[in-house]
Structure 1
Amino acid sequence: MTGTTASDGPDAPATAPARRRGRPPRTESAGTRDRILDAAREEFSIRGYEKTSVRGIAKSAGVDSALVHHYFGTKEQVFEAAVEVAFAPVLTERNTVLDGPLDEVGERMTRMIVGLWESPVTRAPLLAIVRSAVNNEIAAGVFRRLVAGQLLRRIAGQLDVPDAELRAELAAAQLVGIAMIRYVIKMEPLASADAEQIIGRVAPVVQRHLTER
Structure 2
Amino acid sequence: MVRRTGRRPGNPDTRDAILAAARAAFAEKGYDGASIRAIATGAGVDPALVHHYFGTKDKLFLAAMNAPIDPGDIIPEVLAGDPDGLGERLVTMFLTVWDSPAGKAGVGLLRSAVSSEWTARLFRDFVVTQVLRRVMGAVPMKPEEAPLRVSLVASQFAGLALVRYVIKVEPLASAPREVLVAAVGPTVQRYIFGELPAPGPGADAG
Match of 2:158?
176
1:132 to 97, 112, 124: 112
1:96 has 2:74 as partner: no
Q: Which has the larger radius of gyration?
A: 1
Does the aligned pair in 2 maintain the 1:155–1:168 contact within 8 Å? no
Give the CA deviation at 1:207: 0.5
Gaps of 5+ in 1: 1-28, 31-66
Output the amino acid matched with 2:121: G
Paired with 1:93 and 1:109, the residues of 2 have a C-alpha distance of 10
- Kindly state the Cα deviation for residue 165 of structure 1 after the two structures are TM-superposed: 2.4
Contact 1:159 1:210 in 2 (8 A): no
How far the C-alpha of 1:91 sits from its partner, in A, is 2.6
Q: Does the Cα contact within 8 Å between 2:78 and 2:86 map onto a contact in 1?
A: yes
Question: Are the counterparts in 1 of residues 75 and 135 from structure 2 also a CA contact under 8 Å?
Answer: no
**Residue of structure 2 equivalent to 1:72:** 16
1:79 deviates by 9.8
SS of the equivalent of 1:186 reads: coil
- C-alpha offsets along residues 66-98 of structure 1, whole Å, 9 cap, x if unaligned? x6x55433294899537544331x133952232
What is the identity, as a one-letter code, of the residue corresponding to 2:86?
Answer: V
Task: Give the TM-score of the pair, scaled to structure 1.
Answer: 0.59
- 1:144 counterpart letter in structure 2: R
Deviation, structure 1 residue 155 = 2.2
- 1:1-213 equivalences in 2 (<5 Å): 69=13, 71-73=15-17, 74=20, 76=23, 81=63, 83-88=65-70, 90-92=71-73, 95-120=76-101, 122-157=102-137, 158-161=139-142, 162-213=144-195
The aligned length equals: 148
Name the SS of the counterpart of 2:78 in structure 1.
Answer: coil
* Structure 2, gaps ≥5 residues long: 1-7, 25-59, 196-206
Change over 3 Å in CA distance of 1:186–1:79 after alignment to 2: farther
Between the aligned partners of 1:71 and 1:126, the Cα distance in structure 2 is 23
Question: Could you say if the C-alpha distance between residues 97 and 172 of structure 1 is closer, same or farther in structure 2, counting changes exceeding 3 Å?
Answer: farther
Quote the Cα distance in structure 2 between the aligned partners of 1:182 and 1:143: 18
8 Å contact from structure 1 (residues 87, 146) kept in 2: no
Q: Percent identity, aligned pairs only?
A: 36
